[in-house]
Structure 1
Amino acid sequence: MAFTLCTWNINSVRLREPIVLKLLKEEAPDVLCLQECKSPVEKIPVEGLKALGYEHMVANGQKGYNGVAIISRLPLALAGMHDFAQLGHARHVAAKLENGVTIHNHYVPAGGDVPDREVNEKFGQKLDYLADMRDDFRANAPEKSILVGDLNIAPREDDVWDHKKLLKVVSHTPIEVEKFEETREAGNWQDVTRADIPDGRLYSWWSYRARDWDAADKGRRLDHVWATADISGAAHGSRVYRDARGWEKPSDHAPVFATFDL
């Protein structure tokens, strides 16, 4: 079975329902994983999704903040919701497809503005979330799994617009990159996007603060698609759908796609 998966930090699924439906109509992924839904599960607008054939959803939501959802044309079942680092936040949901593949959708804490946990609680929460993910992978080695989401870290030098200028900026600091790689390696996760697009600058997020985000192009690759080693070879067709960042009332993130032949 071949299926295409998309991950997108939507920055309010209710506010941006029109562009969610636009993406589904125009690009038609089989599975759409959303982060930062900012909605209780029961208030996620599903009528338009169902009208387009997306009849299946698992979600973990809360009012006004965080929130993750997996929306699908393919049947799926809830496979878990974990409160990593015991933050009490709706940041993870997992679903299992009928072919046995488990999809994990994560929204890792952004980490605030100061990369020092002694003065910035949010940065500590981010590092703790990653450490808890790492420990979970070490204790329960994932198999036949895909992990996607806004992981809020751009790990490589070519995942940011200026490596040297961003070394002290949250999302690209050495400690974050170190913890990111520890977490990825603990589950033997493969970076699907960079396996397909190994060279060159690649971004999935551009700040709202930029007057002309497209021309300035000061982006970061914060959104990721990983797969366990047993299925990563089945992945192909990775792309960042940059055009969506320029849609009306956009998210500051662009959707990231990958196709799996399983």
Structure 2
Amino acid sequence: MPFTLATWNINSVRLRADLVGRLLREEAPDVLCLQECKSPVDKIPAEVFAALGYPHMVARGQKGYNGVAILSRLPLEDAGHRDMCGKGDARHVAARLETGVTIHNFYVPAGGDEPDRTVNEKFGHKLDFLTEMRDWFRDGRPEKSILVGDLNIAPREDDVWSHKDLLKVVSHTPIEVDHLGQVQEAGAWVDVTRADFPDGKLYSWWSYRARDWDAADRGRRLDHVWASADIAAAGHGSRILRAARGWDKPSDHVPVFATFDL
């Protein structure tokens, strides 16, 4: 049976519970992975989502920061999490569907403003986080797995509004792109979105700082859907819900979708 999955950095699941509800009602993905929930797990409004037909949730949370959750109308089980860099941050959670498919939901650190780890600890944390991801997948190449989330890197030239202007801007610097590429190679992950859209500009994030984000269209593709090599051919139907950036009090990210015939 095919199922549709969406990933979305919601930038506070409690503040934007209505937007999550709107997405569930209007788009009805079978599984929704959220990042930057900014909430302890017991404060996530799970009852609101259950009432909309999503009674299953696996999550990791903390007060005011980070947080990842997987909502589903399909039964799933908690498949654990990894404490990346040993910081105790809620930046990864995994769940397993009854079909045996494991879904990894990641929120990679943004990395601060200065792309130099000698002066910016946050950038060093981001690079170390990616290195640990690489080593983890290198130690055990994933099978029957999907990796999604806000990876906070736009790797390709056509994943940003201007490759030249963003080469020294955190999220598109060569060292970040190289680190993310090593993660992808280590796990033999396939970028499902780009498999469906091999050419052309694609964005999933537009800054709050833009006076008119739509007209300026200075976006970046920071949100990703990857699949392990053994199931990548089952992925299709990718799309990015750009319209969600124009919803009332939106996140600066929008949902990214893919369907899997598994």
Partner of 2:166: 166
Matches within 5 A, 1:52-91: 52-91=52-91
- Secondary structure of residue in 2 paired with 1:103: strand
Q: Encode CA deviations 1:106-147: one digit per residue, 9 max, x unaligned.
A: 000000000000000000000000000000001111100000
Query: Percent of aligned positions with the same letter in both sequences?
Result: 77
Q: Distance in 2 between matches of 1:115 and 1:87?
A: 21
Q: Distance in 1 between matches of 2:128 and 2:117?
A: 10
Q: Distance in 1 between matches of 2:231 and 2:106?
A: 19
Partner of 1:122: 122
Q: Distance in 2 between matches of 1:87 and 1:154?
A: 25
Partner of 1:134: 134
Q: Encode CA deviations 1:68-100: one digit per residue, 9 max, x unaligned.
A: 000000000000110111122100000000000
Q: Distance in 1 between matches of 2:87 and 2:223?
A: 21
Q: Encode CA deviations 1:194-241: one digit per residue, 9 max, x unaligned.
A: 000111000000000000000000000000000001000000000000
Matches within 5 A, 1:17-56: 17-56=17-56
TM-score (structure 1 length as normaliser): 1.00
Matches within 5 A, 1:89-128: 89-128=89-128
In structure 2, the gaps of 5 or more residues are none
Q: Encode CA deviations 1:45-81: one digit per residue, 9 max, x unaligned.
A: 0121111110000000000000000000000000011
- Secondary structure of residue in 2 paired with 1:164: helix
Q: Encode CA deviations 1:152-210: one digit per residue, 9 max, x unaligned.
A: 00000000000000000000000000000000100000000000011100000000000
Partner of 2:235: 235
Q: Distance in 1 between matches of 2:111 and 2:126?
A: 5
Amino acid of the structure 2 residue aligned with 1:113: D
Aligned-residue RMSD, C-alpha = 0.4
Q: Distance in 2 between matches of 1:56 and 1:232?
A: 25
In structure 1, the gaps of 5 or more residues are none
Equivalent residues, number? 262
